Chains A and B, each alone.
Chain A
Amino acid sequence: MGFYDRFFDTLGLRDWCDSEKVDGPMTMTELLARSQGADSVDAPWWDIPFPSLDNLNNACHAVSRTRDLTEGVEQGFLDIKTSLQFVLDPITQPLSWLLDGSLYLFAAIPWWTLIPAILILVYYVSRSIGVTLFVALSFLFLAFIDHYSYSIQTLSIIFVCTVLSVLFGVPLGIAMSKSNTFQKVMIPILDMLQTLPSFVYLIPLIFLFSITESKLYGIAIIMYAIVPVVRLTDLGIRLVDKDVIEAADAFGMSRRQKLFGVEIPLALPNIMAGVNQTIMMALAMVVIASLVSAPGLGVLVLRGIRNLELGVGLVSGVCIVLLAVVLDRVSKASLARINTSQD
């Protein structure tokens, strides 16, 4: 007898309860209770258990158990899975192509072309000899300890995911800044994407897509990394000097002229700060995404954990840190350049 039997009896629901007699497997607590023979003992009133689903089910079998709930969620997901796949699969297919193509391309270019090309790009965006030199030394070090190809794979994934995050994130942020309603809808979604432990949204993705497809980790990384660029675009545009906007209106600018001629240029420092964070979050996620077959340095970390190869794990960890510093410095240097040209 459970604690809540009397409750259901008084309400006259006993018949309803017993009509749903389930013979499903017992929960662990039930088993324990049975083995201890606690069923027959009348526990003192202060031991009353919380009326949770399992405890209520104990008294009345018509009430479902928590396990039924999780099963229900799973079942629900599986039910919509096919139709979801039908829609999402073709839409996201280009992501796989992009990721694979980029990986192939980066691997195909010989190191003596790629490293100088990267350095020229770094100098072009940062206009800083110091930063360029630092990047050069980092790459030489990575190559020297034979982590070059892994690092390039990681970079390639970050590159594709960051570009896509900016491509989708900036328009989203602009839309948010233009509509308070849309902003109210988006903020909880962004909060969720940012706070949900990264492992958690790997789970539904694994169900949806085959684990061998690159878009699986691509989506995971983009969902995680897109948040800052969306937030900061929204913020940046909302923070544009009201007086300047008023001047733009007073001179009869159209919405389009205002957006591209005033708002985006003035919000650019904030947007770039968002891009910097997006890059860093993409790096953090690409390591975790090695769990779902993302190539790169994360694979080495995983190997370190799986096989208890301490050295492999630590060295690749150091490489990740180095890569993080490189990405951070380069994007911050270009951000600083935008800032100085503006005020």
Chain B
Amino acid sequence: MADTIKVSIRHLYKIFGGDPESVLDLARNGMSKTELLEKHGHVVGLRDINVDMSEGEITVIMGLSGSGKSTLIRHLNLLIEPTAGEVLVDGIDVTHLSAVELRDMRQTGMSMVFQKFALLPHRTVLQNAGLALRVRGLGDGEADTEAKKWLDRVGLQGFEQHFPHQLSGGMQQRVGIARALTSNSPIMLMDEAFSALDPLIRTDMQDLLMELQKDLHKTIVFITHDLDESLKLADHLVILKDGYVVQQDEPQQILLNPADPYIEDFVSDINRARVLRVRSIMKPSSKAARASAGNIDYDDTLESVIARSGGSTAKSYTVKRDGKTVGILDMKELIKALVPRLASQSGVRGNVTS
């Protein structure tokens, strides 16, 4: 994947309260969230956030309730103004846009999907889906044709003339997604888009998103508090806690090398065999393994390899990618990777300030 940086957040601070500027330096110098609240009456929303989001990738921002996820995503389209720092979209700092430029960026550059769907209750599904185009001033005919196309794409044929309240939650969120897609913007912001849905529907929607993304290659910023969801969707995973970034990396790397006890806790309940992939733990090599028990794919999950090995720890496999040999996987390594490693042992904990 071409690694063009689409969105870049630099030293972003957000402080809520009467006079955020006055306590900005204190926050910069590392005063804790509780201390700032008790002594100065200000709430630290975000603290020194630096995230790069690559074009065409899904960046997942994960964290517990109150960690600042919604606050962060709303800085991208400036629904919330930062206290300090920059948000660069295609290299342009959106915090300095004029009102007209900002509106233009919201109309054409970004679209958003909301946790509570936020559809217009007095408009039909078709009108809702075409919202972005109508806002831009396109005629009904054009907007409706485009909206219909995307409604079909998300599986809502035949519901065009319904009103949102006549649809189930899952269907309403499909309208929400169609509305975002109709705007045809390169960036899509999704704030806990699937959190209000029940688990089965949620899996459906995740699959739908993955499938759409395969064709559309949008830059997606996805917020969730669910680790399974983030591991499934993320190309790049950012973990937030109390308004700062605890760790950000490719999800597999975070699983293998949690940077701090907070993340260890998070990942300890995960079925690692199902999530980890061969590519993350293989030994890179262009030669086939000695006494290779067979070929496995670069992107296979460990679970499928274990099934193949029949539980034997003595075997090694040759890892193939697009037919070429790219590495070797020893079953012993695989078993080791299944045991969560402690951050203290991998020695990274000291890097984290809190």
Q: A residues bordering B, Cβ < 8 Å?
A: 241, 243-244, 246-247, 249-254, 257, 261-262, 265-266, 341-343
Contact = CB atoms under 8 A, between A and B. Distances in A.
A216 B114 CA distance: 53
Nearest to A343: B165
Contact of B79 (A249, A253, A262, A265): A249
Contacts of A250: 77, 79, 106, 110-112, 189
A266 B116 contact: no
Nearest to B189: A250
B120 A252 contact: no
8 nearest CB pairs, A to B? A252-B106, A252-B107, A247-B118, A250-B112, A243-B118, A252-B103, A265-B122, A243-B116
A251 B135 contact: yes
B254 interface: no
Given A246-B79, A247-B112, A249-B79, A254 B103 contact: yes
Contacts of A254: 103
B347 interface: no
B71 interface: no
- Of the four ranges (under 10, 10 to 19, 20 to 34, 35 or more), the interface on chain B belongs to 20 to 34
B94 to A, nearest CB: 13
B118 A251 contact: no
Given A246-B114, A247-B112, A252 B135 contact: yes
A254 B137 CA distance: 11
Nearest to B105: A252
B131 interface: yes
A321 to B, nearest CB: 36
Nearest to A241: B118
B121 A251 contact: no
Contacts of B107: 251-252
27 contacts: A241-B118, A243-B114, A243-B116, A243-B117, A244-B119, A244-B120, A246-B114, A247-B119, A249-B106, A250-B77, A250-B79, A250-B106, A250-B110, A250-B111, A251-B131, A251-B179, A252-B102, A252-B103, A252-B105, A252-B108, A252-B132, A252-B136, A253-B135, A265-B120, A266-B120, A266-B122, A342-B121
Nearest to B111: A251
B54 interface: no
For B104, B114, B121, which residue has the most chain A Cβ atoms within 10 angstroms?
B121
A340 to B, nearest CB: 10
A276 to B, nearest CB: 20
A266 B164 CA distance: 14
Contact of A251 (B106, B122, B165): B106
A251 B112 contact: yes
Contact of A266 (B79, B112, B121): B121
Contacts of B131: 251
A246 B107 CA distance: 13
B183 A251 contact: yes
A249 B135 CA distance: 11
Contacts of B77: 250
For B105, B110, B111, B120, which residue has the most chain A Cβ atoms within 10 angstroms?
B120
Contacts of A249: 79, 106
B114 A251 contact: no
A40 B173 CA distance: 91
A99 B334 CA distance: 89
A247 B77 CA distance: 11
Nearest to A242: B118
Given A250-B79, A251-B112, A244 B183 contact: no
Given A249-B79, A250-B77, 4 more contacts: A243-B118, A246-B114, A251-B131, A342-B122
A26 to B, nearest CB: 60
B114 A252 contact: no
Interface in B119-164: 119-122, 131-132, 135-136
Contacts of B104: 252
Contacts of A265: 120, 122
A244 to B, nearest CB: 5
B97 to A, nearest CB: 12
A267 B69 CA distance: 30
Nearest to A253: B135
A150 B119 CA distance: 49
For B79, B106, B135, B189, which residue has the most chain A Cβ atoms within 10 angstroms?
B135
A240 to B, nearest CB: 10
For B103, B104, B110, B117, which residue has the most chain A Cβ atoms within 10 angstroms?
B103
Given A249-B79, A250-B112, A341 B135 contact: no
B173 to A, nearest CB: 13
B320 to A, nearest CB: 44
A257 B121 contact: no
A246 B191 CA distance: 12
Contacts of A243: 114, 116-118
Contacts of A343: 121, 165
A19 B260 CA distance: 90
A297 to B, nearest CB: 38
Contacts of A253: 135
B126 to A, nearest CB: 15
Given A266-B121, A266-B122, A251 B116 contact: no
Contacts of B118: 241, 243-244, 246-247
